[in-house]
Chain A
Amino acid sequence: MSSTKIDRRNFLKVLGLGGAGAALAGCDMPSYATLEEGEEQVFSYLAPEEYVIPGIGVWYASTCLQCPAGCGVHGRVREGRALKLEGNPNTAVNRGKLCQMGQAALQTHYNPDRIAKPRIGAKEVTWAQALAFIKAKSTGTPAWLTGAISGHQGVLMDAHLNASGGGKHYGVEIVNAQAWRSACADTIGDAQPDLHIDKARSMVSFGADVLGTWISPVKFMADYGEFRAAPRGVLTVIEPAMTLSGANADHWVAARPGSEAAVALGVANALATEYSVSTSALPTGVADAIFTMTPERVRELSGVDTRTLSRIAGTLMSNSPSLVIGDGSYENAVAAMALNLMLGNIGATITPGADLVPADLAMRDGSTKALANFAKNAQSGDIQAAFISGANPVFTAPDGLNMKDALAKIELKVAIAMFEDETTQFCDVVLPLASPLEDWGTHAPPLGAARGEIHVQQPLMEKLHPEALGLGDILLGLAQDAGAAGLDDFEDYYGYLRTAISAMIGTGQEAAWQDVLQAGKVQAPATQRSFTANGSLTINVPESKAPGKGELILITTARQGLYDGRHANLPWLQEAPDQISKAVWDSWAEIHPTTAARLGLKDGDYVTITSADGALTTRIFLYKGVHPDAIAVPMGQGHTHYGRYASSVGVNPLNLLGADTDARTGEVSNTTTVHVQATGDNRYLVRLMDIDRQYGRKLTATISADQQRRNQSNKQGGA
C-alpha cells in the first residue's frame, strides 16, 4: 500500500504515458511488428513521480459503482494504468472484499465500445456545440433520470434542478429493495435499518436475494461468512426460483410467484399457534392477517404444506436471535418484519439506521415506481427535457409502460453515458461519460450510513478518452449554467469536492485531504435513528392463483453478474457462468422438470413465451429449483444496442412484464402470466458443466450440523 504523500494534480498530468506499453508478450513466436520496424510503441518513464517505481504497483482507494451498494475498492495502478481492483479493507461495508461485478469494473473502464465524443443525432460534435445545443433547446423544466444516486452528485443534481425551475429526479433501479423499505418504514419507523447477519443464528429470507443482489451483497456475504462460522447459523430461503441465496440455503422452499407473503404469514401463524409466540408487538391489522392465514390457506395460495411451515417456525424458535427479511411485494416484507417483531429480533439483529447529518448526501434509492412515473409524466407532456445517466429505461421498462412513446414526447433528451445503449438510440444528444475509474465522487453506501461512512471515489488513471467528462463535472457545469448559487468559484468537480469534504472534516489542510483519499472514505456525522412502533397497519394478501391451463407465471430474476443488464457488455461477466445454471453467453428459461414433462418439453428446447405485452423465444433449462407453476427467465441479456459483447445475445424478459404497479409501493411487478409454446427447435445451452451429480466421487461432501457441533464441542478439531 502506498503510504507516501501524493500530489494529485501532478499525478494526473503524469499518468497515461505508459498506457500503450503493455504489448502482448507471447512466448517465442515472433511478433509481426518489431521495434525496428517502428510499429511497436514503447513509452519510457523519464521522470516519473517520486513515489512511482516502475514495476511496482501503487494502490489507490476509490469506490465501485457497478451496483448501488457502493463498495470501497483499492485499485492497483502500474505505469499509469489501472490493472486490478480489490476491496478496500478500511471500509466497513465490504471490508476488503469485492464481488465479480466489482472485479469486472476494469472491463467497464477499458471497454472498446465506449463513447469517445459527444454526438448530436448521428453527427459527432464538440462539447461546446453539444452544450450550446442543450442550452438552446432547454425550454421548460428539466428532469433527471438516473440510477440510485448519492453523495455530492446528488447535491449538484438537486442544485441544477432547483435552479432550472424545480424539475424532478427519477431514480430508477430495477433491482431494488423498495418493498422492504416501505415495510420497514411502516412497521418500525425506519426505512433503512441496519441488519446484522453475523449476529444471527438463523436467517429466513422470503424472496430477498440477500447474498446476490439485495441492497449490499458483498457486505452481506462478508457477514454471512461469520454467520456460518461457529456457532453456525441456519439459512432458510423461500422463493419461487432459486437465487444465489437459495442456492446456499439449508432449507429451500419453493413458493408460487407472488405468494411469499402468504408463506411468511403462515409461518407467523405457526409461531403464534404452535409455539404461542405473542403478537402483541405487531400492528393490529397485521396480527389479524396472521390469524386468518391458516395453513390450508397457505397451501392453497402458495403450494407450501404445513410441515414446511412448522419446520421453518421450529428453526426460528430454536436458533435465536434470528433475522427475517422479505422483499418483492409490500405484504411479503411486512410479514417478514412481523416475524422479526414477534421473535424479538428488533434491537438484536435489526438495529436502527442513521441519518447522515449532511442529509442531502444520503442515498436516493432507485425504484421502478420512478420508472413508471417517468413514463407517465412524459406521456402527459410534463417533461420537456430529460437528462439520462446511469439508467437504460428503454431496455428495462416493461412494454406496458410504452417507454419509447413516452420518450418521443420529450423534446430534449440528453444522455450522459459510457456506452451506446437502447436508450441513447432515442436521445438527441449523447455526451461521453468518464468511467468510474476516471472520475471523482462521493457515495453514501446503503448500509454505511449507520457508521457515517461516505465512500470517496477518485480517478485511478488519466482518462482513456480525453473528451469524456465525469458526471460531477457535467452536473457542476449544468448547475452553473442554470445559475445555481454558490457554485461559481469552482472550475471543476474536483475543486468542489475538495472544498465540500474539507468542510466535512473541518480542515482544508493537504495532509488531511490526503488521509481521506488514502482511506477512500470520509467519516460524516450521523444521527442514530430510533424505532417507533406502529399500532395499526392493514395489509391485504393478494390472491395468487395457480395459473390456468397452458399458462405459467413468468418471473424475472436478477443475477449477481449481469445484474439488470448493465454488465452484459463485459466479456468477463458473460463468460462467468451463471451461478446456478452454469450457462454462459445466453439466456434461458428455468422450468421444473414435471412442468416440462407436462408440456412435452426437454432440456434445450426453444419455447416462445408470450405475455399480454410481448413475446420472446429462448431455450429452457430444467431443474428442480423452480416452483412448478413458474417459468423464471434471468434478466440481463437481450440487448439490441450495447456493444459487441452484449448485442444479439439472449433475450430480455423485462419487456414482457406488464405495467401493473403495486398499490402500496408503486413498484412494477416482476411477475406476469405467460403462455409457453414449444417452437420445435432444440439446441444445447452452453454451460460450464453438463452434469449436476458427483457420480459417486467425493467432490463436495456434507456433514450434518449436529456432527459439526459435536466436533467443536469435543475440541478434537473442526473449523
Chain B
Amino acid sequence: MSAQQSLAHKHLTYEQAKDIDENIEWAKINTDVLRSMENPRRGYWVAMFISVALFAVMIYAEVYQYQFGMGPAALNTSHMWDLYISTFVFWIGMSHSGTLLSAILHLVHADWRKPIYRFAEAMTTFSLLTAGIFPVIHLGRVWNFYWVMPYMSDRGLWPNFRSPLIWDAFAISAYLTSSVLFLYIGMIPDLAICRDNAEGWRKKLYTWLSLGWRGDDAQWRNFRFTYLMIACFLIPLAVSVHSIVSMDFSMSIMPGWHVTTFPPYFVAGALYSGCAAIITLFILLRYFFKFEHFMTMPILDKVCKLTFVIAMVWTYLNLVEFASVWYGHDIPSKEVLLAKASGPYSPFFWSMMLFGSILPFALLSPWVRRNMYVLFFVSVFLNVGMWLERWMIVTPTLSMGHHPQAFNTMWPGWVEWAMVGGSFGWFGMLFLVFVKVFPSVSMYEVKEMVYHRKRTVYEDVDEMMDLHSGVPGPSSAPASQTTGGA
C-alpha cells in the first residue's frame, strides 16, 4: 500500500455542504465581497438619490411641524397618536431581524445563517436608528426630548419611571448600543480583511476599525467567546425591547390596547417583519452584487420556511386576541374589534389579514420560493401587512374608546405621510452607505462554512502538512479525491 493509500485508511470526515456551492475558494469569497464594496454604478446612485430625496421631504415636514405645531399632522383630541407611533413600532419590529439571525440562529448552530446575517444585523442597527427618530419627532415640544433621560438635573427632577415611554427609552437605548456593538465586534475579522486589501481613506478607516486584528489563535478564542456572550445577552434584550414597546399599549386602559398577549404578539410580529425584510434585502443584494454563490437558493428556501412558521405564530396570537375579545364582556373592546373589521378602517384591516396571514401560504410553494421576482413582491407585501398591522393597532382604538363623544375617524395628514416615507429614505441612506463601506457578507463565516465542508481529519499532522504544502503531483492526489472508506 502506498503512503497515500495508507493515509486513505485514516479517518476521513466529510460534512456535506448543503447550502452553499462546493468549490468556492477562500480567495474568491474575499474578492467577491470586496468587489461589492467598489465604486458604485448608476443604479446605486439612483437608489441613493431616492433615499436622500425622501429624507429631505421628511426634514421639510419636521421643520414645518416644529414651526406650526402638531396640528398639520391631522392629530386631534381623539387621535393623539397615529402614524408616528405605528411606524415607530414597525421599525422596532424590523430590527428583530438581525437579532434573530445573528444571535438566535447562532445559538442553535444553524450554519445557513452565515452568509446573510451581516446585512441582517446592519438592518437591525439601522432600523433602530430609524425607529429612534419617531419618539422624538412625535413630541409636542421636541426640543425638550432629553428630559426622558435620567440625568442629574439641577432641579432634582427625574423622569417618571412608571411610564412605559421611559421603559422604551431605556430599552431602545440598550438594544441599540448592544446591536451596534454586536455588529461591530462581529465585523472585526472582516474589517481586517478589508484593511489588508484597501487603499487610501478606506485603508485608514479599516485599520482604525479593525483594532489591530491579526487573526491569531488567542484573538480568535477571545472573539468567539465575546461574540457568544453578546449573542446570549442580546436575545433576551431583543425580546424585552419589543415587549416593552408593546407595553406602550398594553399598559394603557384603552379598549383594544389593554391586551395581555401584546408582548408576545408584538415580538412575534417583529420577528415576522424582520424575516420578511431579510428576504427582500436578500433578493436585492444577491441580484445587485451577484452574491449567488453565498446567498444561495437553499438558504433562501430556509429563510422562507422560517418566515412562514413565524407568520403562523403571529396569526395564532392575532386570533387569540380576537377570540378573547369576542368572548369577553368588555363592550368597548368588542366595539373596537368590530370597527376594525367593518368600520372605516376595515379595508386596511382586511388587507393586513390578507398580507399577514394568507399571503405567507405562498411561501409554502417551492415555485414561489425559487422565483426571485415573485418572492420579492411577496416579501414586500408581507411587510406592508405588518406596517398595516401596527397602524390598525393604534388608530382604530383611538377612533373609538370609552367615551362615545370622542368617536372620530381620522386620516393622517401629509406631514405624517412625509415622515413615514422619509423614514424609509433615512433607512435606505444608511443601508446604502453600509453596503459600500462595510462587507455585507460575513467573509470569515462563509469561509467557515466552506472550511467545514472541506475539513478532513488526519492522525498525523506532519503528513497533512506534506500533503497540502508540496506541489501536488499525480501521485499525491488531494484527499478529496479519495473516497471515504476505500
Contact = CB atoms under 8 A, between A and B. Distances in A.
| Shortest Cβ-Cβ A-B pairs, 9 listed | A695-B404, A689-B405, A691-B404, A696-B331, A691-B407, A694-B404, A697-B404, A691-B405, A690-B407
Interface in B134-157: 141, 144
A693 interface: yes
Interface string B369-408: 0000000000000000000000000000000001111011
Interface in A565-617: none
Contacts of A27: 141
Contacts, number: 20
Nearest to A688: B405
Contacts of B335: 695
A559 B331 CA distance: 37
Nearest to B400: A695
A688 B402 CA distance: 17
A695 B403 CA distance: 9
B256 to A, nearest CB: 15
Interface in A651-688: 688
B159 to A, nearest CB: 18
B220 to A, nearest CB: 55
20 contacts: A27-B141, A28-B144, A688-B405, A689-B404, A689-B405, A690-B407, A690-B408, A691-B404, A691-B405, A691-B407, A693-B404, A694-B404, A695-B335, A695-B404, A696-B331, A697-B402, A697-B403, A697-B404, A699-B403, A699-B404
Interface string A20-61: 000000011000000000000000000000000000000000
Nearest to B144: A28
A707 to B, nearest CB: 26
Contacts of A689: 404-405
Interface of B: 141, 144, 331, 335, 402-405, 407-408
Contacts of B331: 696
Interface string A689-714: 11101111101000000000000000
A155 B404 CA distance: 55
- Scoring B141, B402, B405, B407 by chain A CB atoms within 10 A of each residue's CB, the highest score goes to B405
A332 B96 CA distance: 77
Given A690-B407, A691-B407, 8 more contacts: A27-B141, A28-B144, A689-B405, A690-B408, A691-B404, A694-B404, A695-B404, A697-B403
A697 B402 CA distance: 8
A691 B408 CA distance: 10
A27 B404 CA distance: 32
A59 to B, nearest CB: 35
Contacts of A693: 404
Nearest to A689: B405
A687 to B, nearest CB: 10
B274 to A, nearest CB: 39
Nearest to A691: B404
Contacts of A28: 144
A690 B406 CA distance: 9
B466 to A, nearest CB: 79
A17 to B, nearest CB: 34
A697 B335 CA distance: 12
A539 B85 CA distance: 71
- Scoring B331, B404, B405 by chain A CB atoms within 10 A of each residue's CB, the highest score goes to B404
A694 B144 CA distance: 40
Nearest to B335: A695
Contacts of B408: 690
Nearest to B406: A689
Nearest to B331: A696
A28 to B, nearest CB: 8
Nearest to B404: A695
A548 B404 CA distance: 40
A624 B252 CA distance: 38
A215 B232 CA distance: 81
Contacts of B405: 688-689, 691
Interface in A158-211: none
A97 B335 CA distance: 42
A103 B217 CA distance: 85
B408 to A, nearest CB: 8
A411 to B, nearest CB: 53
Contacts of A694: 404
A694 B405 CA distance: 8
Interface string A201-231: 0000000000000000000000000000000
A696 B405 CA distance: 13
A100 B331 CA distance: 37
A433 to B, nearest CB: 38
A503 to B, nearest CB: 56
A691 B78 CA distance: 14
Contacts of A695: 335, 404
A467 B404 CA distance: 51
Contacts of A697: 402-404
A27 B69 CA distance: 14
Nearest to B409: A690
